[in-house]
A = this chain, B = another copy of it.
Amino acid sequence: MKINIDASSIRSTAAFCTAWRINMIAKEIGERGIIEIIRERLELPEEMVTPFGEDVSALDIGEGRLLALKADMLVGSTDIPPLMNYFQAARKAIVMNVSDFASKGMTPKAFMVSLGLPPELGRDEIEQLSLGLNSGAREYRTHLVGGDTGMARDLVIAVSGYGIGERSTLILRSGARPGDFLATTGEFGDTAAGLRALLEGVELPRQLKTRLQRKVLMPQARLDEGLAIAKMRAATASIDSSDGLAFSVHELSRMSRVGFTITKPPVSRNARRFAEITKCDPLDLALYGGEEYELVMTIRPDMWKKAKRLIPSLLKIGVATEEREVVAEYNHRTITVEPRGWEHFKSEAEWSGRRP
Which A residues contact B (CB, under 8 angstroms)?
Answer: 21-27, 29, 31, 34-35, 37-38, 40-45, 48, 50, 52-54, 56-57, 59, 67, 69-73, 75, 77-79, 109-110, 112-124, 126-127, 129-131, 133-134, 138, 143-154, 156, 158, 160-162, 344-345
Contact = CB atoms under 8 A, between A and B. Distances in A.
Contact of A150 (B31, B38, B59, B115): B31
B69 A123 contact: no
Contact of A25 (B31, B43, B79, B119): B119
A42 B161 contact: no
A112 B69 contact: yes
A152 B75 contact: yes
Given A38-B133, A112-B160, A156-B156, A148 B26 contact: no
A240 to B, nearest CB: 12
A236 B195 CA distance: 54
Contacts of A153: 77, 153-154
Given A116-B75, A117-B34, A158-B156, A22 B150 contact: no
Contact of A152 (B22, B77, B144): B77
Q: Chain B CB within 10 Å — which of A50, A53, A75, A118 has the most?
A: A75
Contact of A130 (B37, B44, B56, B145): B37
A154 B37 contact: no
A57 B119 contact: no
Nearest to A71: B112
B71 A151 contact: no
Contacts of A41: 127, 130-131, 134
A278 to B, nearest CB: 28
Contacts of A134: 41-43
Contact of A144 (B42, B77, B126): B42
Contacts of A122: 22-26
A31 B121 contact: no
Contact of A149 (B31, B43, B57, B145): B31
B45 A114 contact: no
A116 B156 contact: yes
B75 A145 contact: no
Nearest to A79: B150
Given A41-B131, A126-B34, A145-B44, A150 B69 contact: no
B152 A45 contact: no
Contacts of A112: 57, 69-71, 160
A121 B78 CA distance: 16
A57 to B, nearest CB: 3
A110 to B, nearest CB: 6
Nearest to A45: B143
A148 B75 contact: no
Given A44-B145, A71-B148, A77-B152, 14 more contacts: A31-B149, A34-B149, A41-B127, A42-B133, A42-B134, A45-B110, A59-B110, A69-B112, A73-B114, A75-B156, A116-B116, A151-B344, A152-B154, A160-B160
A158 B158 contact: yes
Nearest to A149: B34
